[in-house]
């Protein structure tokens, strides 16, 4: 009986730790000292969990274009910060110019952890400083 109980506890403990291993470490993926600010046309947005993705087409100095992906917080955090699906769909449909600010990936790929998105008229639609989006703008 004791062996079965000990085995059951060991199995349950192991199963409880598996979700912890599935989530990635921020510091292993992003270079916290390298903050980028990119301006370009918003071309896509993926509403997915655990993190959504904003896609911005940036024009390089030589005229070529690069798609940058910004990893955002989960959908529920986006909603609490003023994002709505209709707002984002409209921005993508219009190819709206946005400024994407965030921390660069360590691997040199064209992706970052988005800390802020500002529309071309200066309205912040995603500010992850804890402050709500700007009212009335």
Question: How much is the pLDDT for 9?
Answer: 58
Average pLDDT over residues 80-106: 90
Q: Characterize the bridge pairing of strands 111-119 and 65-71.
A: parallel
* Second CATH level (architecture) for the domain 25-127: Beta Barrel (2.40)
Question: How much is the pLDDT for 122?
Answer: 84
Residue ranges of domains in the chain: 25-127
Q: Mean pLDDT check: name the lowest of 2-11, 73-82, 127-136.
A: 127-136
Average pLDDT over residues 20-40: 78
Tell me, yes or no, if the pTM score tops 0.95.
no
Contacts of residue 29, Cβ cutoff 8 Å, sequence gap at least 6 = 105, 106, 107, 113
What is the tens place of the pLDDT at every residue in 69-92? 999 888 888 888 778 889 889 999
């Amino acid at each position: 009986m004791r062996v079965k109980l000990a085995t059951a506890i060991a199995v349950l403990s192991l199963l409880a730790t598996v979700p912890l291993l599935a989530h990635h470490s921020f510091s292993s993926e992003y270079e916290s000292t390298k903050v980028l600010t990119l301006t370009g046309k918003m071309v896509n947005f993926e509403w997915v969990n655990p993190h959504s993705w904003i896609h911005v087409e940036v024009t390089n100095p030589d005229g070529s274009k690069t798609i940058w992906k910004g990893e955002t917080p989960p959908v529920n955090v986006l909603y609490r910060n003023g994002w709505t699906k209709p707002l984002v769909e409209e921005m993508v449909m219009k190819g709206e110019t946005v400024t994407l600010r965030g921390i660069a990936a360590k691997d040199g790929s064209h992706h970052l952890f988005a800390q802020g998105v500002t529309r071309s008229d200066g309205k912040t639609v995603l500010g992850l400083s804890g402050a709500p989006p700007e009212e009335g703008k």
